Amino acid sequence: MLNIVIFGPPGAGKGTQAELIANELKLIHISSGDLLRQELANGDLGQEIKKYQDAGELVPDSLVIKMVEKAIAQNLDKPGFIFDGYPRNLNQAVSLDTVLKTGRLELNAVLNLELDEQEAVNRIILRGQTSGRSDDNEETIKARFQTYQEKTLPLLDYYRRQNLLVNIDGRPTISEVTKQIMKILKK
């Protein structure tokens, strides 16, 4: 069993790396952003979710935590999980610890993909040309960074104290970053 959180600012490459690592190690990739976008497309809560996403704010915990818990519960027989974009605040982190513990699981590492804001913004704007995501525009990106600073960044301390935090340089090419991550996970 291997359970990993992939952490970092918007645009650092969390989704890309999570997908590659999940394929390589046969882990279940749980992206709270993807789960929310699916719910937005199919569920009754679409308008509500879109409002938060387009404002660059966090969707309420009650909804996000429930969705992630369901995804975990459906895959407890699998070799492990890679959480991408989750947790995004302390409440979610504590909830994740509890849920994993209940399933007799634990986190093995929190990989912090480091990238400075300007580079991350450039990447998101580039992605916006093809992603079709309504939150990949300059104004929302600014708000997403602010949310990251205020709500998400404090989690680094939470995981550092648990000795789980590993910093990874997010600047190199996709395949070089993947290589770095694999090297760390093999240890």
Question: Which residues here bind ligand AMP, judged by CB under 6 A?
Answer: 10, 32-33, 36, 52-53, 56-59, 64, 85-86, 88, 92, 135, 144
Toward ligand AMP, which CB reaches closer, 124 or 177?
A: 124
Closest distance of CB 141 from ligand AMP, Å:
10
Closest distance of CB 186 from ligand AMP, Å:
26
Alpha helices in 103-173 (DSSP H): 117-131, 138-147, 155-161
Closest distance of CB 135 from ligand AMP, Å:
6
What value, to the nearest 5°, has the Cα angle with vertex 64 and ends 109 and 29?
45
Confirm if 8 and 115 have CB atoms less than 8 A apart.
yes
Residue nearest to ligand AMP (CB): 33
Toward ligand AMP, which CB reaches closer, 61 or 166?
A: 61
Angle between helices 138-147 and 46-55 (to 10 degrees): 90
Closest distance of CB 61 from ligand AMP, Å:
7
**How many CB atoms within 10 Å of residue 155?**
20
Toward ligand AMP, which CB reaches closer, 138 or 179?
A: 138
Toward ligand AMP, which CB reaches closer, 56 or 164?
A: 56
Alpha helices in the chain (DSSP H): 14-25, 32-42, 46-55, 61-73, 90-102, 117-131, 138-147, 155-161, 174-186
